[in-house]
Amino acid sequence: MYAAPALQDRTSDIRPVLRARAEALGFAACRFASAGEPWVEGARLAEFVGEGRHGTMGWMETTLERRSHPRAMWSDARTAIVLGMNYGPDEDPRAALEDRSAGVISCYAWGDDYHELIKGRLKDLAGIVARETGAEVKVFVDTAPLMEKPLAQRAGLGWQGKHTNLVSREHGSWLFLGVILSAAEIAPDSAEADHCGSCRACLDACPTAAFPAPYQLDARRCLSYLTIEHAGPWPEEFRVAAGNRIYGCDDCLAACPWNKFAAEAREMRLQARPELKAPRLAELAALDDAAFRELFRKSPVKRIGRDRFVRNVLYAVGNSGDASLKPVALARAQDADPVVRDAALWALQRLEAA
pLDDT of 56 above 90: yes
d(CA 178, CA 85): 8
Sorted by sequence, the CB contacts under 8 Å of residue 306 that are 6+ apart come out as 287, 288, 289, 292, 293
CA distance 185 to 136: 11
Q: Is the pLDDT of residue 245 over 60?
A: yes
Burial, 198: exposed, middle or buried (Cβ in 10 Å; 0-12, 13-18, 19+)? exposed
Is the pLDDT score of 8 beyond 80?
no
Q: Which amino acid is at 169?
A: R
285: exposed, middle or buried (C-beta count within 10 Å: 0-12, 13-18, 19+)?
buried
Calpha distance 36→77 (Å, rounded): 7
Q: Across residues 69-79, what is the average pLDDT?
A: 96
- Specify the amino acid at residue 15: R
- pLDDT at residue 13, as a whole number: 81
DSSP helix/strand/coil, 308: helix
Closest CA to 33 of 254, 188, 224: 188
How far is residue 25's CA from residue 28's CA, in Å, rounded to a whole number?
A: 9
Which of 229, 305, 298 is CA-nearest to residue 270? 298
Q: Would the pLDDT of 276 be above 80?
A: yes
Is the pLDDT assigned to residue 340 strictly greater than 90?
A: yes
**Nearest by Cα to 63 from 71, 73, 55, 54:** 73
Q: Compute the distance between CA of residue 228 and CA of residue 254 in angstroms, rounded to an integer.
A: 19
Q: What is the pLDDT of residue 144?
A: 85
Mean per-residue pLDDT, 72-87: 96
pTM of the predicted structure, to 2 decimals: 0.93
pLDDT averaged over the chain? Answer: 94
What's the whole-number mean pLDDT along residues 97-113?
96
Does pLDDT of 109 surpass 50? Answer: yes
Question: Catalytic site residues?
Answer: 142
